[in-house]
Amino acid sequence: MVEPKLSFKSSLFICILVFLSLLFQPLEALAKQIGNNGDFIHCVSPGESLNKIARQYLSLTDAITTGELVQEIKKLNGIKNSLIRPHQRLMIPLVGSTPVTAKTVPKQADFRAKGIYINRFSLACPKMRRILNALIGCGGNTVILDGKDMSGKLSYPSQVGMVKEIGADIGAVINNPARLFNDLHEKGLHVSVRLVLFYDPFLATRRPDLALFGGNKTNYQTELDQELWVDPAHPAVQEYNLSIAKELAEMGVDEIQFDYIRYPTSESLRNSESSVQGNGFPRDEIITDFLAGARNALASYKVLLSVDVFGIIAWGRQEDIEMTGQKIEDLAKHCDVVCPMIYPSHFASPFQGIAQPGREPFLMVSETCQRFSSFLEVSNAVLRPWIQAFPLGAGNFSEDYILEELRALNQSTSRGWMLWSAGNAYDVAWKALSLWNSRNLEGQTASSKFVHYY
């Protein structure tokens, strides 16, 4: 029996169906067909740009940012500028068939952390890889990344309703946070994400009903006459931040670190009006209640919860507690790690009989740690300070300055350290850590190796 031949129209129709079935397959399915035997071939559609193509494939590559993948595509295809044409065939350096996900790597709170801060801008450029390589080379094991910084902007695309409503994630520098977290885990790093809470000019300007006012609601009052705070007592502000924290926990981070978990200290805002819910309650009760709620909200995850606090709070002065809302013995009951910011240059001169605290790194770090340790004795929280890795206010800043801080921490109850440089300039820190490691300085006495400033 002779089979009937298909007409030209029928053949064309079948070809179109096959083409459409391939065209509308999920990206993962197409990538599975390619496997790991070679680079994926993408046919450029009219109107497509390299950035758009990179965003489409980012989760299936080794790149962390869209810009990084664009550069890889250009190099792989010999593209000298960013111009591409319709129907051009581009090789895409895929490494897998399904998007990479990250999973929290649980740790005990008292592990000895050795970490550095990486800001939102360093996350989006090759500088981050240089910082990571230097950190690991110096024996570091922890990174603290900006999730929401002092601008109120998020570093990643969020699905939180209010974030989308106000556009706080527009221009996110990390399009694929899970890829980043997984990459850091593979490098053996503990991943902590920093959330600036109540100092949030972005939220305050877009939702003035949530802003903290300094007595006159017709005029915004600002800290340093620049930025706006939101009301720590307002339920919507609290839920906004807790939703972001839970979203990051679900993405596979290892630790959520709350910064600016306090009220402002500027004179214009010391008597700021709070929400109806906060009226009549001391500031320290409002801040502590928020942290207790955060602890409950994150209870189902295996992430550590840490809080950044002022170093001066260790002196337990009632005026500081009433102003900031940071009462250490209460906060410590609802977190895993207390992270005082012990920057000698940030203590006012003179301070407690010390003429120039900024020139006394060992003394200031040692004394502050000792005081914090006494507060933490009644809790399970551990001490892990931020120390100064920047020259501001320290005229004698050098690797010896950082070595003094490290030695002070080594003789305290601290479980490691975190280096702070707002601009991520760590060259002096790398020199200090190299000396610390090569000379085996841990445990040495004050007179053995170090220059003294007191």
In one letter, which amino acid is 372? F
Taking the C-alpha atoms of residue 107 and residue 115, their distance in angstroms, rounded to an integer, is 15
Q: By the 8 A CB rule, do 130 and 122 touch?
A: no
> What local confidence, expressed as pLDDT, does residue 436 receive?
95
CATH number for region 113-449: 3.20.20.80
Q: By the 8 A CB rule, do 261 and 307 touch?
A: yes
Name the pairing type of β-strands 113-118 and 40-43: unpaired
Taking the C-alpha atoms of residue 142 and residue 329, their distance in angstroms, rounded to an integer, is 26
> What local confidence, expressed as pLDDT, does residue 87 receive?
92
Q: By the 8 A CB rule, do 389 and 426 touch?
A: yes
> What local confidence, expressed as pLDDT, does residue 395 receive?
82
Name the pairing type of β-strands 337-342 and 304-310: parallel
Domain coordinates in residue numbering, the chain:
24-92, 113-449
Among 43, 442, 171, 110, smallest CA distance to 304 is for 110
pLDDT along the chain (454 residues), means of 10: 50 46 44 51 92 85 83 91 91 81 95 97 88 96 98 97 97 90 96 98 95 58 58 96 98 98 77 58 96 97 97 94 95 98 94 91 96 94 98 92 97 97 97 90 44 33
> What local confidence, expressed as pLDDT, does residue 269 receive?
56
Place of tokens 């060259």: 427
Give pTM, 2 decimals. Answer: 0.82
Q: By the 8 A CB rule, do 105 and 189 touch?
A: no
Taking the C-alpha atoms of residue 251 and residue 254, their distance in angstroms, rounded to an integer, is 10
What count of other Cβ atoms lies within 10 Å of the Cβ of residue 243? 17
> What local confidence, expressed as pLDDT, does residue 271 receive?
55
